[in-house]
């Protein structure tokens, strides 16, 4: 039988090597500011900078939640694991020239107007 595989790989862009590196840096905590200021007119870098901003804000929210004993600690612990995984995946996809959308969080990034 002839079956087609439906792969959900994000489309690759024609971003230059510098753009890919700067976009990837945007997933490292507060360093989302680098692509935001250096490449604010580059759609590819801005896409990843916005997602980095959303991860940064989520990290700040988890720090506040961490103040709550027991339940807050558990939520914060698992939340940080998710943030680290999303950051690594975003970093890798940015280096590969892909515009990968963060699960659950990309809708917030799309609403940011800069």
CA distance linking residue 43 with residue 38, whole number of Å? 12
pLDDT at 6 over 90: no
* Number of domains making up the chain: 1
Q: What does the pLDDT look like over 49-72, one tens digit per residue?
A: 999 999 999 999 999 999 999 999
More confident residue, 85 or 39: 85
Domain that holds residue 77: 30-109
pLDDT band at residue 11 under the 50/70/90 scheme: low
The residue-averaged pLDDT of 96-109 equals 90
- Residue 24 forms part of a structural domain: no
Cα-to-chain-centroid distance, residue 81: 14
Beta carbons within 10 angstroms of residue 104's beta carbon: 11
Answer whether residue 7 is part of any domain. no
- 8 within some domain: no
Q: Is residue 19 part of a domain?
A: no
Instruction: Decide if 3 is inside a domain.
Output: no
């Amino acid at each position: 039988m002839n079956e087609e595989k439906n792969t959900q790989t994000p489309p690759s862009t024609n971003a230059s090597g510098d753009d890919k590196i700067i976009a990837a840096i945007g997933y490292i905590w507060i360093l989302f500011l680098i692509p935001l200021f250096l490449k604010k007119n580059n759609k590819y870098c801005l896409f990843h900078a916005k997602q980095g901003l959303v991860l940064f804000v989520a990290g700040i929210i988890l720090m506040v939640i961490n103040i709550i004993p027991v339940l807050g600690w558990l939520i914060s612990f698992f939340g940080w694991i998710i943030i680290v995984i999303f950051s690594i995946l975003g970093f890798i996809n940015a280096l590969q020239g892909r515009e990968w959308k963060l699960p659950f969080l990309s809708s917030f990034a799309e609403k940011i107007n800069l």
